[in-house]
Chain A
Amino acid sequence: AQSVTQPDIHITVSEGASLELRCNYSYGATPYLFWYVQSPGQGLQLLLKYFSGDTLVQGIKGFEAEFKRSQSSFNLRKPSVHWSDAAEYFCAQGDMRFGAGTRLTVKP
């Protein structure tokens, strides 16, 4: 079955530092991949998605992700983290199945 894996349960970074959240997929064909962010009291918000084409995808809030078929990965990145980025991040695939999530804590 198709699945996505997020190896990191919790990540802490300092404000202003760069961020990379990992996501690995298992699917033979080109998958449809998404990154969502969940903040307390708010619904999940789509950060970006990949269907095909350019493997570097730009999203909202300064996030980007790179699809790497050779590594079966779709890692989320941000060059400089803001305190407001503290949240839960989920990688998901096209059939709306989600990874376990990575909780991001931002240190002042």
Chain B
Amino acid sequence: GAVVSQHPSWVICKSGTSVKIECRSLDFQATTMFWYRQFPKQSLMLMATSNEGSKATYEQGVEKDKFLINHASLTLSTLTVTSAHPEDSSFYICSAGTGPGPYNEQFFGPGTRLTVL
């Protein structure tokens, strides 16, 4: 199957700093990428959907200015957690697909664990 990578796999930062997480589709062009947040022993919460070349669509309750998503190319999407605080500590997962919706299979990255001190 297709491969999606995330970098870094884990990051520790101080409160108030910004952290960028990269999501790359390694062997296919991803027109759509999804970003999720997963708390310990909980499900994935969809944060936003990004389509290449356009603004991301955020889920209700997700702060757009806090979680900046950029999908500048067909193989790369980034999530920047701005002015991170301890409550932003979580496991962030991206998925990438050749299109939106259920007909286009989404391939998941291994996730990035963010710890904010």
Co-assembled chains A and B: yes
Asked whether A63 is an interface residue with its Cβ less than 8 Å from the other chain, the reply is no
Given A51-B103, A94-B101, also A43-B43 (CB < 8 A)? no
B107 vs chain A, min Cβ distance (A): 7
A78 to chain B, nearest CB (A): 20
Give the Cβ gap from B49 to chain A, nearest Cβ, in Å. Answer: 8
B 100-117 binary contact with A (CB < 8 Å = 1; else 0): 011101111111000000
The interface residues of chain B lying within 8 Å CB-to-CB of A95 are: 101-102
Check: B26 CB closer than 8 A to any chain A CB: no
Known: A32-B102, A94-B102. A45 touches B42 (CB 8 A): no
CB pair B110 A43 closer than 8 Å: yes
Known: A90-B44, A96-B34, A101-B42. A44 touches B95 (CB 8 A): yes
B111's nearest neighbour on chain A, judged by CB, is A43
B4 within 8 A of A: yes
CA distance A103 to B109 in the complex (A): 20
Is B93 located at the chain interface by the 8 A CB criterion? yes
Contact A100 B4 (CB under 8 A): no
A70 at the interface (CB under 8 A from B): no
A98 touches B102 (CB 8 A): no
Taking the nearest CB of chain A, how far is it from the CB of B4, in angstroms? 6
- The reply to whether A44 and B93 form a contact with Cβ atoms under 8 Å apart is yes
Q: B102 contacts A101, CB within 8 Å?
A: no
Question: A36 vs B105: C-alpha distance in the bound complex, in angstroms?
Answer: 12
Q: Are B111 and A98 in contact (CB under 8 A)?
A: no
23 A-B residue pairs with CB within 8 Å = A32-B102, A41-B110, A42-B110, A43-B4, A43-B93, A43-B107, A45-B1, A45-B108, A46-B106, A49-B102, A49-B105, A51-B102, A51-B103, A90-B44, A93-B102, A94-B101, A95-B101, A96-B34, A96-B46, A96-B106, A98-B44, A101-B42, A103-B41
Going nearest first, the 4 A-B pairs with the smallest beta carbon separation are A94-B102, A32-B102, A43-B108, A44-B108
